Structure 1
Amino acid sequence: QVVDVERLVQSTADPTSDIWHALRARIAAASSQYGFVDFLKQAPAMKDELVALEKGNNTDFYTSRGVRLHSMELIEVELHSDGVASSITNAIASEAALRINEVEKLRTENELEIARIDGQHRMLMQELANQLLSDARAHEAQTQEAELRYAREASEEGQRAAHELQVAENSATLRITQENHTFALRAVEAANRVALETGRSALLDVLEANLRKESASTGMVTGLHMGKSVDEYLHALQSSLPDLDKRISLFTFMQELGARNATSLNLASGNAQLYVTPESANLYLGPSRALNHTEL
């Protein structure tokens, strides 16, 4: 705080820089007792202690310059230690490398899980194909054995065995075809759902844009109509009422009167009820202790 302007001007040509350098020297001397981390923790207490010392032991410095010290704020701290800066840089680099490694690890785990699921799927399909082939071969072997066993019997038995083999092969083929068809149907259904949702999103965007355009157009038309009405009203009263403020007040009164008439018409044409307080109706209904609620 400047308490003596004349003394301030006579004592120094740059009071701001003079006082700043003096306080900076005091802070530098006091901060030499701490490490960087301890300094950051103890900075508020050190600042208060330094201000108290300046007020008690160094008043001549400020009195000679016509100023009075009330408080001091630390707004910036610079680190001039290569070791600490290097430690912080290494810690940041280690943290970044750790995060990159975690991301790579997660990506590798996901790829392994995808490969495992794909392998299980392939194994299941191969097992199914092998089972079908094994069943077909077993049935074929049984058929051949039956044909050899009953070769000497009637040709009808041989034809029946051949028919059973054909039925088994057709059944296996049908099962594979049905599974492929089911998979294809599911893929088509998923694609249709995606297309439907995309179409819905596009439709909503178009509807939203149209609604905004319609609202903007309606507001513009209403604003132009209202502006033209106000302009014509004020222009018509210019000759009889030259004062613009009075014309505007009269227009405002007419608008309020129209709004009140519309409200009265709405109340008269329906079953609405109007509740007012004695203050708004300018009524005196006796002491407030005698009435708890007033309805008009």
Structure 2
Amino acid sequence: MMYVPFITKATKRKGTQLDDLSYIVVKNELTGLEFTVAGPQLYFLNPHEVASERKRKIVLEKHEYVRLLDATSGQQRLIKGPAKVVPDPFESIVNGRQQPAVRLSKLQYVVVTDSLTGNRRVVTGPQLFFPGTYETVGDISEAVELSKLQYVQVTETLTGAKRVVSGPTLFFPDAYETVGDISQAYEVRKHQYLKLLDQTTGTLRVERGEATVFPRAHEEAAEGGVKDAVNVDDETAVLVLSKASGQQRLITTKGLFFPEALEEIVEVRRLVRVQPHEVAIVRDNFGAFHFHSGNASGAGNGTAFFLPPHCELVTMYWSSATSKEDAEQHIVRNAKQVAYKVPMSKIDLRAQYAFFEYKVRTSDNVELLLEGTIFWQVADVPRMIERTGDPKGDVWYHARSALIQAVSAVTLEQFMASFNSIVSKAAETDVAFYEGRGVRLHGLEVVRFECVDGKTAGVLQEIIQETTNRINRLQKQKSENEVEAERLHSQIEIERQRKQLIEARTANEKLQASVEGESEGTRLAQNTMAFLNMLNVSVPDDATRLQLLKFFTEQQTLTTQTEHLSKGNASLFLTPQDMQLRLQMPSD
């Protein structure tokens, strides 16, 4: 027999079956204590205990963790996976769920901050990082990968100090460091240099090639970075300014010139060449002019020089009908009006020409357009630079004024009859004006003129046409006269030569006849002498012998005449004596 004292009521309860992934929170209602019961098990509640609904354990994988906050003490605890976590009754999950661990590769890092102390630290890869209980993890950052020619400036945020990290390296900054942009180192070749300025002290330093230069902290490239040294030779010099003293000096020593830290290259100066017919004008810092003549020695070889410090080559601007661009390209457009100002750094002493086109008016109010050429020359350079800045323009405009005055004093007819002498007289006018400006006017040439007014131009063209026709007719007549004179001269010459031929032929015939006569006379004389000598004995009387000789001679002559007549090669002329005729004319 069993006695159960003071039991008035009994409740039959089942046990709570918990599997491996579940748990319950049990609370003692008498004491108020709470505790957790984790499976796997079959749990029977004790008296005065009540159980909560079954809850799932927190399952953490290998790369996960969870933070649990105890509401009664405020303490936190961190549990890394892999694990099955059963929170205490008053613990809750921070952030509401489990968190993944930070997976860092070889090139990554994170900054971890201790929320209790505020201290920071850097965690670098490669690893699977689980933070501490009170640590917060910043964003994943990439390490700075620097090649051999790269660098970065790193600033410490606590002190503001800067440092330079140069490659090649894989750089992980410290927790309190910030990294600037990746920059390229300066590759300085053998003929180059680099000036670096320290921004904290203002100090300049120079790095010469060959070198790979990494600037120091607070340094930056000055004067535009890497620059070429100047190769000083026979054609090149360097004008250098010392920032320490403010003085300039001209470097002419041959070789590569590298400026010092406080030196600045003001200008690279080329050798100024002056040809024998040129003069270069140099102005110094006091304003005085110095003249460099290409023919100063008289040898005609020209000269060359470098501009000294604080000096400049004087450039004048002369009037021109050709633009600067056309002049540089050697283009001549034959323009006749001054329209441009072109620079002249060397004075040409040779005779020069300029085209012109002037409008003038004669005394009878006929407006003419004259075209021609001005020939002029620079004679005295010091006087020219003293008196004028545009000698060519002065010559051009003064020649126009002289022509206008000269033409205005004559009529159109007078101008047409003697325009050459009028133009020459105008060129000789006011020589003192040109000498006062150091120039010489050699002459004016008018190559064409025309009337501006159309009607007057038409009349002038008719006059010119008639004059041209008259000149053509005179020229034609002159040509015909010259042809006729030449023809007569030729005929006279032919007749003169013919006369000489006749005279020579006559002289020859006379000589031949004389020779033949002498021969015939000699023969007759010999025949006569022989005939008379043969009759000396038979006919002693001289008169009788001569009578006989005459008889035989006449007979021989008749025989010859008869022979010629019989052959038909001769003409017979008879005289009354030959015929022994006597004509008796009756008288009135």
> TM (normalized to structure 2)?
0.17
Instruction: Mark the structure with the bigger radius of gyration.
Output: 2
**Structure with the largest fraction of strand:** 2
> TM (normalized to structure 1)?
0.30
**Structure with the largest fraction of helix:** 1
Structure with bigger RCO (C-alpha 8 Å, 6+ apart): 1
